[in-house]
Amino acid sequence: MSASDVQATVIAPRTQHSAPRWTAVLLASMTAIALASCGGAGGGSKSHTNAGAGTPVNGGTLRAAMVSNPDHLDPALAYSTETWEMLAATNDSLVTFKRASGNAGNEIVPDLATAMPKVTDHGTTYTFHVHPGVKFSPPVNRAVQPSDIKFSIERLFRVNSPGVGFYTDIRGAAEYEKTKRGGISGIVADNRAHTITFHLVQRDGTFLEYLAMPFADAVPVGTPDKDVSTDPRWRIATGPYMFKSYTPQGSITIVRNPNFHQWTPNIPNGHLDEIHVTIGTSPDQAVNEIADGDLDYYFEAVAPDRLAAISKQYPSQVHTYTRNALLYFTLNGRKPPMNNVKVRQAINYAVDRPALVKIFGGQGTPTENLIPSGMTAYKPHHFYPYNLAKAKSLVDASGTKGMAVQVWASSTDPQPEAAQYMASVLNSLGYHATVKTMSEGIYYDTVANEATDPQVSYNEWDEDFPEAEDYVDAQFNGRYITKIGTNDNSNLNVPSLNRQMNKVREMAIGPAREAQWAKLDAEIMKTQAPIVPFMNRDFPKFYSSRLHGLVFNATFYELFPSMWLSK
C-alpha cells in the first residue's frame, strides 16, 4: 500500500511542536536545492551550487558548526531543526519522510517497517511488520524488536517529551500520561511475529506523519527515563551514523554506525566518514570560516548583514531555501495583561510587520496568518493593518496601561533586536517593557515551561510534517498545553475552537480539510489573536566549495547521508 493510499484511508491530524523545532517545512516548499540532480521541487532555492553535481565520493570529515548546544540528542526530547537534521542520519522510526527534496520529500515511506501498515477498523488500527534485520549501534548491538518501539513511545510520556501530544490519541495513552504505569494498552508489540499494532481512540488523518517524526524513533528497551544526550551508553543509533561523542559547549562527533547494513532504499548509506560539529560558532564567524575554507557546513542561516556580499562573492556557494517557517511573538493568555483579548489585538495592530522583516535582513515575507504562505491551505487574511491609534484605544479600553511586560528572546541574532522592537511597541502602547535574552540552546525549553511562563516570547515554528494542522491544531488546541515542553505557548484553550480542531483532525488529508484549517486560522487570529505572526522566513545558507550532494528535505532539512566532499 502506498503512502498516499494509507493517508487516504486514515484520518485525523494533529501536530505539535514548539518553538524550537525548526524543522521544516514541507511541501512543496522545498526549494531548492533541488537543483541539479534532485530535480524539481519547487520552490525555492534562489541559487544553486555545489548541490548534486558530480559523482559522489566516499570518505572525509565534514567540518560543521552550530551556534550553541543542541537542545537534546535524545530523540524523545529533541525538537530543534539542528537535532532533527542529525537524528535523520542516526535514528529510525517505523515510517519516515522520503529522503528527498521537494514534494517527493513529503511522501511517507517504510523505514523500520517492512512495508506501509495495514489500516483497519475504519482507520483506527495500524499494524506494522518490523524489519528483522536492523541492529542497534554499539554498545547495545542487538536487533530492533517491536517491543523497543512500544517502549520508545511510552518513554515519551515518562520523560515529558514535547512530542507527547501527537500520541495521546492512541488508546490508553491518556491514562498512561497520568499514571505512567502499566504501559499503553493501545500499542501491542509481538516480538515473535515481528509486528506492532496501534489502536487509536479516533481516526487521525496524520497518524503516520506522527510516527515519521523523530519522537517515534526506536530506542532500546532499558533506556533510562531521562535525557540521555550526554550518555554514550544509551545514545543508541540505528541509521548509517551514530553519535560518538558530545561535549556541551564543545563539539559533537558523528561517525559511521558499524552495525548499519542498508535494509531499505529509503534509508541510504552516507558518503561521509565523519561529521565534526563545533559548538559556539556565531553566524558571522561561520561566514568567515567558510569563506576561508575552514568550515564546510553551518546549521544556521547566513548572518543577515553578510548575505548580500557573500552572494556576490561566492554565488555558487549560497542557497536560499523557502521553508514553512513562521516567526511570531507569543502572547501568553495566562499572564496579565495578555489574558485580555483587547491587549492581544492591540499589539497585533501596533506591530509594523514589514519593519520587523527588515530586522531579519528582509529574508522573508510579512504575514498575519498562522499557516505559512508555502502551504496549500494558506489563505491570506488581514485583520490587523498597522494602526497605532486603534491599538492605543484598545489598550485604553482594556484598563491595563502601565503594567510591566517582559519580552523574551534567545540571544541569537537578530532575535534580541526583534525583542527590542516588540518592547518599543509595548512601550508606545503605555506598558513598561523589558527584554530578557538567553542562549538559544536552552531558550525554547525555557519558554515552553509552565514555571517560566513568559508574558511575551519570540518564537519560530517550522514544519513537523507537511500539513496545516501543524500550524493550527498543534499550537492552539488546549490539548497541547503541558507543564513542560508545551506546544501551546499562548495557552489558548477555547472549548469551541478545540472542538472544531478535533473534528478537522479526523478528516482525510485533502482540500476540504485544508479549507477548514484556513477557516480556523482566520477565526483564531480574528477572535483570539494569541500570537503576533509577522514573517515567513527564507533560509539562506552558505557552504564550502568542497561540499556537494545537498538535499533539502522539508521536515529534516539538509540530509547528511547525501552529502559528500570533493577531494
Partner 1 sequence: MSVQAPDLNVVDGPAVLAAPAADAVGNWRAAWRRLRRNRAAMIAGAVFIFILFASFPGATLWVHLVAHRGPNVQNLQGVIMSGGRKVPVVSADGTPIGPGFRGEYLLGADANGRDLFVRLLYGGRTSLTVGIASALLCTLLALILGIPAGYYGGIVDRSVSRLLDLIWSFPVYLLAIAISASLIVGGLDIGPIHISSSSLLIPIIVIAVVYIPYIARPIRGEVLALRRREFVEASIAHGAGPVRVMTREILPNVAATTLVLFTLIIANNILTEAALSFLGVGVSVLTPSWGNIIQEGYSTMVTAPWQTLAPGIAIMLTAISLNVLGDGLRDALDPHGRRRGGGR
User: Which residues inside 262-321 make contact with partner 1, applying CB under 8 A?
Assistant: 282-284, 287-288, 303-309
Cα separation, 117 vs 114, whole angstroms: 9
Cell of 449: 515551561
Nearest approach, Cβ of residue 206 and partner 1 (Å): 36
Do the Cβ atoms of 485 and 45 come closer than 8 Å?
no
Q: Residue 468's beta-bridge partner residues?
A: none
Q: Is there binding between residue 358 and partner 1 (CB under 8 A)? A: yes
Reading the block at residue 205, the C-alpha cell is: 488523518
Nearer to partner 1, 185 or 452 (CB): 452
Does position 465 interact with partner 1 (CB under 8 A)? The reply is no
Sequence-ordered strand ranges (E) for 56-200 = 61-66, 95-97, 108-110, 118-120, 125-129, 187-190, 195-199
Element (H, E) at 525: helix 511-527
Q: Cβ contacts of residue 28 below 8 Å, gap of 6+? A: 41, 42, 43, 102, 103, 106, 374, 376
Nearest to 366, CA basis, from 354, 384, 381 = 354
**C-beta neighbour count of 368 within 10 angstroms:** 22
Choices 66-74, 178-186, 371-379, 407-415 (CB under 8 A): range interacting with partner 1: 407-415
Three-state DSSP class for residue 453: coil
- In the complex, minimum distance from the CB of residue 407 to partner 1, in angstroms, rounded to a whole number: 9
| Residue with smaller CB distance to partner 1, 9 or 439 | 439
Candidates 413, 464, 469, 470: give the one binding partner 1 (CB under 8 A): 413
Among 24, 254, 290, 433, binds partner 1 (CB under 8 A): 433
Partners of residue 132 on adjacent β-strands: none
CB of 279 to partner 1, least distance (A): 18
User: Omega of the bond prior to 139 within 30 degrees of 0, cis?
Assistant: yes
Smallest distance, Å, CB 362 to partner 1?
Answer: 4
Q: Which is nearer to partner 1, 162 or 283 (CB)?
A: 283
414 binds partner 1 (CB under 8 A): yes
How crowded is residue 335: how many other Cβ atoms within 10 Å of its Cβ?
15
Residue 57 burial (C-beta neighbours within 10 Å; 0-12, 13-18, 19+): middle
Residue 132: which residues within 8 A CB-CB, separation 6 or more? 143, 194
* Of residues 56 and 366, the one with the C-beta less far from partner 1: 366
Instruction: Quote the least distance from Cβ 162 to partner 1, whole Å.
Output: 23
Least Cβ distance, residue 411 to partner 1 (angstroms): 6
Residue 434 touches partner 1, criterion: CB under 8 A: yes
Stretch that binds partner 1, among 347-355, 455-463, 468-476, 510-518 (CB under 8 A): 347-355
Only segment of 180-188, 253-261, 351-359, 550-558 that touches partner 1 (CB under 8 A):
351-359
Q: Does 46 engage in binding with partner 1 (CB under 8 A)?
A: no
- Indicate the residue among 58 and 427 with the shorter CB distance to partner 1: 427
Nearest to 310 by CA among 31, 542, 67: 542
- Under 8 Å between Cβ of 526 and 507: no
- Residue with smaller CB distance to partner 1, 193 or 308: 308
Burial of residue 480 (CB within 10 Å: 0-12, 13-18, 19+) is buried
- Give min distance, CB of 263 to partner 1, in A: 45
Nearest to 227 by CA among 181, 182, 176, 161: 161
Question: Residue 398 Cβ, how far from partner 1 at the closest point, in Å?
Answer: 23
Residues 360-399 that bind partner 1 (CB under 8 A): 360-363
In the bound complex, what is the minimum distance in angstroms from residue 364's beta carbon to partner 1? 11
Q: Which stretch binds partner 1 (CB under 8 A): 92-100, 261-269, 413-421, 471-479?
A: 413-421
Site residues (vs partner 1, CB under 8 A): 282-284, 287-288, 303-309, 352, 354-356, 358-363, 411, 413-414, 416-417, 420-421, 423-424, 427, 433-437
